[in-house]
Structure 1
């Protein structure tokens, strides 16, 4: 699929193999690092432009394209049902692939058509009644906040915000002060959509479990750029998408439901895949995570999602993390040196998302102007992360998210493009 090389480190400034100037820490002696030439050959569009929008929708490698397009062609030849039966074993194996990726068991994995669908299915199954409490953080995403506030209003629950610490991530000590037996759910965003921080997940989970609360981790922006393992993080539920850092197709998602959480959850959106009709007035729901799946799905896209997960596992999650951190740190340093440019990232641990503003420029105009220079970025606005953006006095930011397939020289090219726009 894609190769690795041993003891190869790309020079962060001049592109010469073997030098570490400006790259940060080198990998451990003998560690495998990503073969940049190989992954770029798998991603031709990464050569044509400086692609810095993996936090939006990344570029899939050719292996993912082959899986999706190949199956669509097969459906055109013999029909969707027959083509699906041909790939039954591959689809079943996908649960094991994602179990490996996410530190879970195969029966704790469910596939959906988006991170939103995964998150909503899990949240909707959390039993809530009047007087219950839901805790969110200051970097909660609007896609979660809207259904949380909507359902809380319906059932009479309350929604409270856990303060952030001085560095921007959730304040675990403040969380502990808020926790009691009425807290039924802690909604935690692993990597926010609008800044560079990574929240401390394990500490939050340990504190929440002291009072019996469930922890639903939104890993939409972390899955595919950071190791996300349920067995290490200790959370009860994880929602994720295929289209971002995992480099899978749009319209794909995954949900992790730990066995311990299944005893508490009450799935409400079910169909003939989630359960079976055993008598005229009786049904029997599945006992594994697939109770959160629905019958109809795109087989082609799911095969592409599984191919994307295999691709990431073959490269190595730690190797991906290092490469993304290298590109993002390089971009932050370059932008911070430009007059009129302010890097807006917060947090003690930083992710691959780099946000910034340019004095006197609207972010949408910057995005479009950078596209004219061959640099692809996106934007983030206050409505998507209202609490955080309001607290920091921001209406909008430019969001750049370099993946491992971006050359260090391309990062410098992006910095130069921003410099031209700022002038």
Structure 2
């Protein structure tokens, strides 16, 4: 069980407002804030190189922390400046040629879809959409029909940006691996709210961010590259951290996932990211998943009972993203009205998940994402304020 007294002490911002935007950028807990600010102060005192040298052991230990969090090996972990950077670095290393195929789901995120389409156009590959089933994830029969030996990658969004559906990842992985395809899991919206075990999911590449449910600082991300992918991927760009200059015309790349890192990085931010992962591990990912699920279920039920409010979440298994609309109001109008009442939500537009939103006839929706530090009384406040807006 989560110690709410400690959590609320560590999250003073949660006392001043009903914060429902952990799917965007969550409130960092005090230990993370102290780690980041403390290191910046140390850099100001003795210099950036020297301050980093002092924390070398802690930075090195961070790979083991994330290996524990994700259920993989430390040598399979890399740190980057964002989930997008992680995703692009891995995807860019995937050999892709004319005639190759990439499969995506209808909830694919625009930040992934755009580079997929760009590269496919450049090399003559194709990006094909697997239709969704009633739960909003890859339809099993449709996936089976589309898979063949020309499919090099299946891109899976674990939890989409515009709703609470949780993909049936292991089913998708098993089907993809049967034809030799790699599975790239966008875990941007899952790590930090769901217990994620990459070995159990049997995915090959995992990308994620610090700023969302993990409650880390902005400008931080992580990447996991498991052995099946490491044998296939060929990184195109590396610096003196990812490789070693061994002769006038020779070099050697690192054999581990850190080949995707750059030498220059935000050391304070990385220390904060590691602190956020430790904080989650201390709470227990399973306990956090249970708490977030309870809060999201409570909020969905309260919103669904309001006349004029439509909840849009799909899925037999739902995560902590709660999406809804209010009749006669745009999502931006609802967001602004709630902000004036100290209730923080955000919006999601069709351009972020074009396929799914178009299929469902949605242009924009309000997105609320309650983390474990949001109490039931605060959720009641949010529900009441939405009711006032709807009325």
Q: Would you say same fold, with TM above 0.5?
A: yes
1:270-419 alignment runs, 5 A limit: 270-419=238-387
Given candidates 36, 39, 45, the residue that maps to 2:4 is: 36
- Are 2:76 and 1:108 aligned? yes
Whether 2:117 is the aligned partner of 1:141: answer no
Q: Residue 96 of structure 1 is aligned with which of 51, 57, 64?
A: 64
Q: Paired residue for 2:13, among 45, 48, 72?
A: 45
Q: Which residue does the alignment assign to 2:23?
A: 55
User: How many angstroms apart in 2 are the aligned matches of 1:50 and 1:121?
Assistant: 36
TM-score where L is the length of structure 2: 0.99
Shift of 1:382: 0.2
C-alpha distance after superposition, 1:293-352 (max 9, x if no partner): 011100000000000000000000110000000100000000000010000101111010
How far apart are the structure 2 equivalents of 1:376 and 1:316? 26
Q: TM-score, normalised by structure 1?
A: 0.92
1:257-285 deviation digits (Å, cap 9, x = unpaired): 00221110011121111101000000100
Do the aligned residues in 2 keep the contact of 1:276 with 1:283 (CA within 8 Å)?
yes
1:73-104 superposed Cα distances (whole Å, 9 cap, x missing partner): 00000000000000000000000000000000
Partner of 2:133: 165
SS at match of 2:275: helix
- Whether contact under 8 Å (1:243, 1:249) holds in the other structure is yes
Aligned residues of 1:169 and 1:348 also touching (Cα < 8 A): no
Provide the residue aligned with 1:154 in structure 2: 122
1:204 aligns to what?
172
Structure 2 residue runs without a partner (length 5+) = none
Aligned to 1:125: 93
Report how many residues are paired. Answer: 391
Describe how 1:248-287 pairs up with structure 2 within 5 A. 248-287=216-255
1:86-143: CA deviation from partner (whole Å, max 9, x where unpaired): 0000000000000000000000000000000000001101100000000000000000
Measure, in 1, the Cα distance between the counterparts of 2:388 and 2:82: 37
CA distance in 2, matches of 1:54, 1:167: 23
Q: Secondary structure at the residue paired with 2:351?
A: helix
Measured in 1, the distance between the counterparts of 2:27 and 2:89 equals 27
Q: Hey, which bits of structure 1, 4+ residues long, moved more than 4 A?
A: none
